[in-house]
Amino acid sequence: MTTGTEETTLTIDELAARAGMTVRTVRFYGTKGLLPPPVLGPRRVGHYGREHLARLALIEELQQQGMTLAAIERYVQQLPPDLDAHDLAIHRAVVASWAPDVVETVTRPELERRAGRSLGDDDVERLAAMGVVKPDDGGDGYRVDLGLLRLGVGLLDVPLSQEAILAARKVLIEHSRSAAHELAQLFRGEVSERAEQDVKSLSAHMQPLVVQALLTTFQRSLREELRDWLGGVSEEGRSA
């Protein structure tokens, strides 16, 4: 459900279903301080928003990276308290960049459980077109890229055509590969005369910094482009 300002509000059951977790797990995270308290509505029913869902996604990503609950608590406590769902998604993207490529074969019910929602045939077809899932040749299951699943599921609710999403994917892949190649060339020139151990150490330190720099730069550039575009649309509306 949504409010008049289109802000998503969920009951704890809906939040757990969207996050692919049990209500008990969500409550547990709340008692640990990993989730901010819900907004209490009529009859003291708690309502959760997009920030809660984004925090659960971040916690899940940290768990997949092998972090203990205590380490996750320390990580979350260091985050600024006023982060919105968009900022939390950026944090999760940085964490997810370290995840190894994992492809598993799952059944349709398991696919929906991992997605945190029911999926119609059209949804599965869109996920397949995005390269997130692929029907298993040997049976009724699906080969799923777990690193892309949550992103693909999120795109199901974006009001863009399938053609636009695929075109955007192509642009991102092409420019990401180009940036990665040029950065690799730059770093290769810097470390060409160094010992192998120094090269490995530099790579380990630079990769998270480069990933965060790319995400931050892209985020700000996209925000400026959207601001200019929306400003132009407003000007056209006033002149009309």
pLDDT mean for each 10 residues of the chain (240 residues): 53 89 92 90 85 90 83 87 80 67 83 84 88 82 82 80 80 80 75 65 64 72 76 63
Q: For 207-240, b where at least 16 C-beta lie within 10 A, e where not — what string?
A: eeebbeebbeeeeeeeeeeeeeeeeeeeeeeeee
Q: Which residues contact 40 (CB under 8 A, 6 or more apart)?
A: 46, 47
The reported pLDDT for the residue numbered 65 is: 75
Query: Where do the DSSP E strands lie in 64-198?
Result: 103-106, 133-135, 142-145
**Which helix (DSSP H) or strand (DSSP E) does residue 47 occupy?**
strand 46-47
Torsion sign over Cα 226, 232, 234, 236: negative
Helix/strand/coil for 118 = coil
What is the rounded distance in angstroms from the CA atom of residue 239 to the CA atom of residue 154?
36
The reported pLDDT for the residue numbered 204 is: 62
What is the rounded distance in angstroms from the CA atom of residue 115 to the CA atom of residue 127?
11
Closest alpha carbon to 34 in 65, 86, 78: 78
Using alpha carbons only, give the angle 57, 61, 63 rounded to the nearest 5 degrees.
Answer: 115
Cβ pair 45, 15 in contact under 8 A:
no
Residues paired with 205 in a beta bridge = none
Torsion sign over Cα 85, 91, 97, 101: negative
